[in-house]
Copies of this chain bind each other. A is one copy, B any other.
Amino acid sequence: MNLPEGKDKFLQSWGALGSSWGVNRTMAQIHALLMIAPQALSAEDIMEELKISRGNANMNLRALIDWGLVFKELKAGERKEFFVAEKDMWKVVKNIIIQRKKKELEPMLKVLDELSSVEGNDPEAEEFVRMIKEIKLFSSKADSTLDTLVKADSNWFVGTFMKMIK
């Protein structure tokens, strides 16, 4: 397979993967493009390669920077901004875990806490509280497991996990 063909296939696949994980296609594609780029790209480079508008490129780059997956890079003597991706896959995944944990798991834990105080002694209320507590227990375990995971160093996952888990 040649490069343009491979590149295109990668951009498509990564974009589709993003879609099924609640990340918009373009954001995933910009990330993919930057991951395989040998040097920093400008907004224009990205617009051109992905055939997207300036506004779209800008918004999604901003979001990627928020997530810690892309960094702005200023080149000496150049007026425009360049962008590079985080290329260490463990850091990529770690940042995603940190963000999603904060935006989704933690608020959900808070809601579950409130919900476990539901009153009532009919079977419906009892089952509700029982199930909420089961979900809460599970989610707390997931939460602390993720904390531990995130604190572990870059090589931990690839190097050690398989041995420990055996």
Contacts and interface: CB of A to CB of B under 8 A. Distances in A.
A127 to B, nearest CB: 4
4 tightest CB-CB pairs across the interface, nearest first?
Answer: A38-B127, A6-B118, A89-B138, A20-B22
Given A3-B125, A35-B131, A164-B164, 6 more contacts: A2-B120, A9-B114, A10-B111, A36-B127, A37-B127, A38-B127
15 contacts: A2-B118, A2-B119, A3-B120, A3-B128, A10-B115, A13-B111, A17-B108, A35-B131, A35-B135, A36-B132, A89-B135, A137-B158, A141-B157, A141-B161, A164-B164
Contacts of A89: 134-135, 137-138
A165 interface: yes
A164 B166 CA distance: 10
Nearest to A2: B119
Contacts of A134: 87, 89
Contact of A10 (B38, B132, B144): B132
Chain A interface bracket (under 10, 10 to 19, 20 to 34, 35 or more): 35 or more
A126 B127 CA distance: 58
Contacts of A19: 22
A114 B126 CA distance: 53
A149 B100 CA distance: 21
Interface in A132-166: 132, 134-135, 137-138, 141, 144-145, 148-149, 157-158, 161-162, 164-166
